[in-house]
Copies of this chain bind each other. A is one copy, B any other.
């Protein structure tokens, strides 16, 4: 996603500013980590700090907004009739490699009520794709949604503990392990 141009969107620009802030946060968190200064997010989005804090009162609410968009794209993937569990692992691995800072956010705030819906939404995606893979005989019968969710978490933690240069290779290896674990 390219940086937004710095334009004064005016007082009616609330939704556009909000989206510009989310896009900028996604980039800045990926480049600098989740603890990047929020002023650099406002600057990249081309909005004032006041606008940033009106939309996102703290770092966590901004991180959750980025995460929400990631999950929306997983839901869109799950809506494709051809998407498999293996595709879902691939999409989650790609998101986790790009947004490793977000993993720390959710891991350390998993009891925050604002983050509770994230896991619920991912669980629904996993359950839907698992059910379809089961009907297609792509997965072993014993595999449960909890198994898939634990595997996602393990993949994410492995990436957040890896050096950035190793993350793509770690994601590949982890995906191969989970494919072997779940495949019929």
Interface pick from A39-47, A112-120, A175-183: A175-183
Which of B140, B153, B174, B181 interacts with A161 by CB under 8 Å? Answer: B153
Q: Is the CB of B158 within 8 A of A146?
A: no
Instruction: List CB contacts (< 8 Å) of A158-177 with chain B.
Output: 158, 161, 170, 173-174, 176-177
CB contacts (< 8 Å) of A147 on chain B: these are 173, 176-177
A79 touches B (CB below 8 Å): no
Which of A146, A153, A154 has the largest number of chain B CB atoms within 10 A? A154
The docked-state distance in angstroms from the alpha carbon of A23 to that of B80 is 55
Secondary structure dominating the interface of A = helix
Known: A154-B155, A157-B154. A181 touches B177 (CB 8 A): yes
Question: What are the 9 closest A-B residue pairs judged by CB atoms, nearest first?
Answer: A157-B157, A181-B181, A154-B154, A180-B181, A177-B181, A154-B158, A107-B161, A150-B173, A147-B177
Contact B174 A154 (CB under 8 A): yes
Distance in angstroms between the alpha carbons of A153 and B158 in the assembled complex: 7
CA distance A115 to B42 in the complex (A): 41
Residues of chain B within 8 A of A151, CB atoms compared: 177
19 extra A-B contacts, CB within 8 A, seeds A142-B180, A147-B173, A180-B182: A107-B161, A140-B180, A146-B173, A147-B177, A150-B170, A150-B173, A150-B177, A151-B177, A153-B158, A154-B155, A154-B157, A154-B158, A154-B174, A157-B157, A157-B161, A178-B181, A180-B180, A180-B181, A181-B181
